[in-house]
Amino acid sequence: MPFIKSVFLHFFDIHYLEEKRVDKFLQQATFEAFWATRFSILSAYEVLIPASSFFESKLCRKIISQYRELFDSGIIILVSNNHNIEEFLEEKLIQYNENDEQFSIYKEALHSMDLCLPMRKRQRSSTLDIVKDWRLILNSGKFINEITSHQKVDLPRDFEDRWYRVPDKLEKRAFIVPNVIPLLITNSNLFIEDKLHGIINKAYFNSYIEDLKSGIVSDLVYLEPNYQLLTAGNMIIPYKFILRELKKRNLLDYVSALNNNDLIQYGESDEWKDIFFSALKNRQLLLKDLQYIHSRKQISEGVIIMGDQYNITSHGQIGAIGNKASANHAIFNQDKIDFEKLASEIKMLYDELRKNASTEIELKDLQYLKNALEGIKSDNKNKILSNLSKVGKWAVDAANKIGLSLVTEILKSFIQS
């Protein structure tokens, strides 16, 4: 029986492959993508792939074409904002210019490829989610600071205004780096392109993962993202730990040679169950050791270490952070907090509250938020959470009212503790 309801394969996206510079290590990336896909089929009820990856990525088609019959059984499913393949292809032709490579791919596919593939329609729009994160990042100011601190970057004076207007200027064109760059700067470079790839790809992937409530393949070697992807619960497939288990048991060649039917049967075997959960256990043990090493560095920063959790103390309030964090207090796992998103939301909340703050308590709350923003600039996560733990209920209500979901959740947790 599969252990995961669904897994989303992010690593076939062509813009992500470009971000990772896969052309420099294509052989290793192909090996990794092959096994990551195979582990996903073995471990999940459904393997979900963006339709755009399937059509645009040669790497994706090369690997997924081996599993054509698994489409018919509903194990591999393409995902998009459309009801069927034909509708998807026609919409894509609108998003790209005729001289774009993607336009040629979709035009050819519309007239020649097998259109009888299962398609799952998403509820959310990845473009709208990208736009939301795009503007949150501008409000945080962190990205602008990172770029301007780079000595090889010369930004136009109206860069922030250009940034804000990018979604409108794109109109129906795809929200991808080649379309974004000309709207931002005249002379681009790899530093800025890499930054933009990371911002757009992260928002794009998380949009899918949140919408589909899916897991991911984690602990990749060559194709691991440099930013955190959300997962539904602990639904992960620990790639390198499974690979090590197979090598240790001399099963790599055996699993590689399984045909599709035998692969599905093997995924339901006790042997695969033992391999999968042994890999998870080894991963958890390693993370626990790394968290312990990290926690020893936190002692000088006002953090109390208790077992596997880090407890930030502040005026009688404690936020438990870390592996198996527990207690009747605000509970967080620092590794699972998207601090970039949190930074944007704190800045927006600060600006909103500053309009009406008048009482002594309200002004104090403003100062706590300002201190948290200073913690963001210095990358001091403990300072951020410590100051948020002191903020009052009126700020929580305001954050909730203007749709700041992450900071609302964190503030509520402190208040309820």
* 191-240 tens-digit pLDDT: 888 889 999 999 999 999 999 999 999 999 999 998 888 776 568 999 99
The answer for 61, left when phi > 0, alpha when psi is -120 to 50, beta otherwise, is alpha
Does 181 share its domain with 227?
A: no
**Boundary residue ending a domain (158, 179, 198):** 198
Phi, psi of 146 (to 5 degrees): -65, -40
**Residue 337: is its pLDDT beyond 90?**
no
Banded pLDDT at 25 (limits 50, 70, 90)? very high
Q: Give the global pTM.
A: 0.70
Within a domain: residue 4? Answer: yes
**Residue 11: is its pLDDT beyond 60?**
yes
Does 55 share its domain with 175?
A: no
Characterize the bridge pairing of strands 303-306 and 309-314. Answer: antiparallel
Phi, psi of 202 (to 5 degrees): -60, -45
Of 388, 394, 415, 16, residue with least CA distance to 199: 16
Q: Whole-number mean pLDDT of the chain?
A: 82
Of 372, 374, 403, residue with least CA distance to 390: 372
Q: What is the pLDDT of residue 415?
A: 66
**Boundary residue ending a domain (168, 198, 228):** 198
Residues in the chain: 417
Token representation of residue 63: 């690997």
Does 404 share its domain with 277?
A: no
Within a domain: residue 189? Answer: yes
Within a domain: residue 325? Answer: no
**Residue 299: is its pLDDT beyond 60?**
no
**Residue 131: is its pLDDT beyond 60?**
yes
Banded pLDDT at 122 (limits 50, 70, 90)? very high
Does 11 share its domain with 77?
A: yes
Within a domain: residue 178? Answer: yes
Does 102 share its domain with 43?
A: yes
**Residue 273: is its pLDDT beyond 60?**
yes
Number of domains in the chain: 3
User: Whole-angstrom Cα distance, residue 86 to residue 119?
Assistant: 10
Q: What is the pLDDT of residue 237?
A: 93
Does 16 share its domain with 80?
A: yes
Q: What is the pLDDT of residue 48?
A: 96
Please report which helix (H) or strand (E) contains residue 309, including its range. strand 309-314
Does 7 share its domain with 45?
A: yes
When pLDDT is averaged across residues 83-91 and rounded to a whole number, the result is 89
Is residue 390 a contact partner of residue 318, using CB atoms and an 8 Å limit?
no
Q: What is the pLDDT of residue 306?
A: 36
Does 232 share its domain with 349?
A: no
Does 1 share its domain with 85?
A: yes
The answer for 233, left when phi > 0, alpha when psi is -120 to 50, beta otherwise, is left
Within a domain: residue 152? Answer: yes
User: Whole-angstrom Cα distance, residue 205 to residue 16?
Assistant: 10
Dihedral sign, Cα of residue 402, residue 407, residue 409, residue 415 = negative
Banded pLDDT at 407 (limits 50, 70, 90)? confident
Does 164 share its domain with 224?
A: no
Banded pLDDT at 13 (limits 50, 70, 90)? very high
Within a domain: residue 324? Answer: no
Domain that holds residue 73: 1-122+199-300
Between 61 and 111, the more confident residue is 61
Is residue 59 a contact partner of residue 17, using CB atoms and an 8 Å limit?
yes
Token representation of residue 158: 């109206």
Within a domain: residue 316? Answer: no
Q: Give me the sheet containing 330-332, strands edge to edge.
A: 303-306, 309-314, 317-322, 330-332
Q: What is the pLDDT of residue 154?
A: 73
With H, G, I as helix, E, B as strand and everything else as coil, classify residue 269: coil
User: Whole-angstrom Cα distance, residue 138 to residue 199?
Assistant: 11
When pLDDT is averaged across residues 70-93 and rounded to a whole number, the result is 91
